[in-house]
Amino acid sequence: METETVYLNGDYVPLADAKISVMDRGFLFGDGVYEVIPAYSGQLFRLEDHLERLDKSLRAIRLQNPHSHEQWLNLLTPLLKKGLDQSVYLQITRGTAPKRDHAFPQNVTPTVFAMVTGITPHSDPDNGVKALSMEDSRWKLCDTKAITLLANVLLRQAAVDNGCTEAILFKDGYLTEGAASNVFAVIDGILMTPPKSSAILPGITRDVILEIARKNNIPCSEQAISKADIKKASELWITSSTREIIPVVELDSEKVSGGKPGPVWKTFYKLFQEHKQSLR
């Protein structure tokens, strides 16, 4: 059995040998950020967009990027296997400090960790998933891809406990996103998603879907979506880098799109796969 190799602080090591200090601020405070980058046939997908989002997250927590974009490309590429679809998980923490103190430590080297996993996108054209609507209880910096994901974990687990795949979140009566995804709705024939703000993570897959829609003259809009709007949606999707586009066919025990993936999702699934194929 082949040993999985990961990157940690300048070295490529077996996963079992990758260790960090218990004094690492990521462990003690969740003081760090992360990024997830798909790779198709060994080629990183929209790397520049992902690294720009990483730059933004690092600026938000006042941590300097330890590498240039070119250095990230050279660092991550050796982890990929040619011909496979994978995703790269990249995490940067503020590093290991000599003592536990909420204030930023001085002269500390960031901890950099990266690993790859397989991608298993939704590919069943005849079935979708169940979701549960919940109040968005997270903090006010959801556009920062921070590793402090306890609120997301609890919301997602509440959905799982109720036999659902995802929690779809609302704040003050308006859709934000999923616990681990962006959300799209087809309403009155228009593909809609909430606009970018501090309330949602600006997903790269989200942007790709909007680009595909505009390229193919499919009506789309970035706008506020109320809970009442969602109830009249003919289709509902959740999207992410690792799961791509998943149709939601039941929300709060009520069927969406007759309990089956809708025609717009089927069109987009085909268009998204064609887009991926063009990159290989």
Catalytic machinery residues: 145
Taking the C-alpha atoms of residue 172 and residue 161, their distance in angstroms, rounded to an integer, is: 24
Do residues 180 and 152 make contact, with C-beta atoms less than 8 angstroms apart? yes
How many residues are there in the chain? 280
Taking the C-alpha atoms of residue 204 and residue 219, their distance in angstroms, rounded to an integer, is: 19
For 107-150, give the DSSP string: S-PPEEEEEEEE------TT--EEEEEEE----S-TTS-BS--H
Taking the C-alpha atoms of residue 57 and residue 78, their distance in angstroms, rounded to an integer, is: 24
Give kind and range of the element (H or E) at residue 186. strand 182-187
Taking the C-alpha atoms of residue 259 and residue 249, their distance in angstroms, rounded to an integer, is: 5
Do residues 242 and 87 make contact, with C-beta atoms less than 8 angstroms apart? yes
Hey, what amino acid is at 67?
A: H
Taking the C-alpha atoms of residue 146 and residue 153, their distance in angstroms, rounded to an integer, is: 13
Three-point CA angle 105, 107, 109, nearest 5°: 95
Please give the radius of gyration of the chain, using alpha carbons only, rounded to the nearest integer. Answer: 19
